[in-house]
Amino acid sequence: MNDVWAVSRNFEPVKFSEEACQRVAKSRDFVETILKENRVIYGITTGVGELVKTLISPKESEILQKNLIRSHAVGVGAPFPEDVVRGMILLRANALAKGYSGVREEIIDFLIELLNRKVFPFVPSQGSVGASGDLAPLSHLALVIMGEGECLKDGKRVPSLKILREKGLKPMKLLAKEGLALINGTQVMASLGCLAATEAELLMKNAQIAGALSLEALKGTARAFDPKIHELRPYRGQIRCAKNMRRLVEGSAIIASHKNCEKVQDAYSLRCIPQVYGSILDTIEYVKSILAIEINSATDNPLIFADEGEVISAGNFHGEPLAFAMDFLGIALSEIGSVSERTVDRLVNPHVSGLPPFLAKKSGLNSGFMIAQYTAASLVSENKVLAFPSSVDSIPTSAGQEDHVSMGTISARHAWKILQNVENVLAIEMICAAQGVDFHHHSPGVGTKAAYHTIRKHIKPVEEDRVLYRDIEKAKELIVSGEIVRNVEEAIGHLE
């Protein structure tokens, strides 16, 4: 997964190993043998899907592959961003390089060159049911290899042939099996999943930091993070989170100042952070384990076993493992937003916060953060809809031949959107918590102080009402860029 991030986001160069070349060459030689023997093999000498009974002559095999890509490139909607598309290309190349797909080395070389020369294929985000792989979006990628379809340049759609010429690349003719091999796979949902899971790890660190800062703003207690409690329910994530929370608020004069106050216990959104956020940490680890298997698998159909002299049609392209994982990730991430929004509500609610109404210094004349909580509530409500599992749905396709589909790409897209919504909710919590700390006369903990100073470096306290959406945007930027986490970890060490 780190490699996916490095190539997708950081434009790390990609190489095709000699060992992989040998595997791919052996697989391709076997496909050529099949063509010479005129054997009946799905997608090589037959049509696809319900048209499997239609025989295709070896002379027509190239036409079949070209027609396959053209007919399957039916995606709609906004295009995937460049990092997602780069992830798709990398993962498709990696799957083909396993040597079970029957393509030529040149096909994989071309995919690698798309990455290294920074070609950005136009791939619409909607149209995959996640069963025979991500057929529609991967077909848009395959069009570019043929010199057809479009690429994106400076935000505009440009004919692929023009872009390829600018980058010094010549379109390729797809030979037998190659078109099918390019589009049978789960690389769209896997790319989304890898990027989302990686971002989710950073998001979780920010969530714990925001929770710790809110705890101080609300004069909560750190007693709920005592290791003795969590050793009695030893979920790994829960123990990790409790330890992080202790370290974040260590040395807090705010918490020490009300150690013997009349409050018995904090609300669940504060007291149960290790139990809730810890469960999310465990969920992310599970999702990563699924992705690690998926992105290193051969997922097209049929699969070529050159050493055994076999071609086997099966269903490794089915996205069910990722569909479940992405649904699970979306559900887990939505819970971050749910907890965060409840914390924001407590921060702005004078009946429970012990702070000025809506964190405004002159409330009434000023509304403070009243409507910021509305925005958080709106995003959390949207997430509840997005978190409904897409994998529980299935609509048969290809005249019933493909009678159960995963909808895994929809699961991944929803998880991605939920993550973005939660980033905004946490941004609101960060600025509300910092505003709450402003009303105290004691110092935060070592970790929370680093977070507070990072926020205040970029976002001034709200003395009187001002336009807040820019503050929310800036806080989100601090979350997504990792600046808050970096400064906190410089102060207290790596968060687990």
- Domains of the chain (ranges; CATH) run 2-185 (1.10.275.10), 192-492 (1.20.200.10)
* Cα 32 to Cα 36: distance, rounded to the nearest angstrom: 6
Instruction: Look up 42 and say whether it is catalytic.
Output: yes
How close are the terminal C-alpha atoms of the chain, in Å? 18
* Cα 131 to Cα 137: distance, rounded to the nearest angstrom: 13
Determine the 3-state secondary structure of 136 from DSSP.
helix
42 to 174, 176, 297, 380, 467: CA distances (angstroms): 16, 11, 20, 46, 61
pLDDT on residue 399: 79
Q: How deeply is 16 buried, as exposed, middle or buried, from its count of CB atoms within 10 A (0-12, 13-18, 19+)?
A: middle
In whole angstroms, how large is the CA radius of gyration of the chain?
26
* Cα 426 to Cα 453: distance, rounded to the nearest angstrom: 17
Determine the 3-state secondary structure of 478 from DSSP.
helix
Catalytic entry in 42, 268, 277, 374:
42
pLDDT on residue 357: 95
pLDDT means per 10 residues, the chain with 496 residues, are 95 93 95 85 75 76 90 97 98 96 96 98 96 93 98 97 97 93 95 98 98 97 96 98 98 87 84 98 98 95 93 92 98 98 97 95 94 98 97 89 90 98 98 97 96 98 97 98 98 96
* Cα 103 to Cα 65: distance, rounded to the nearest angstrom: 12
- Give the torsion through C-alpha atoms of 424, 429, 430, 432, to 10 deg: 130
Of 88, 147, 90, which Cα lies nearest the Cα of 123? Answer: 88
pLDDT on residue 54: 76
pLDDT on residue 50: 65
pLDDT on residue 43: 76
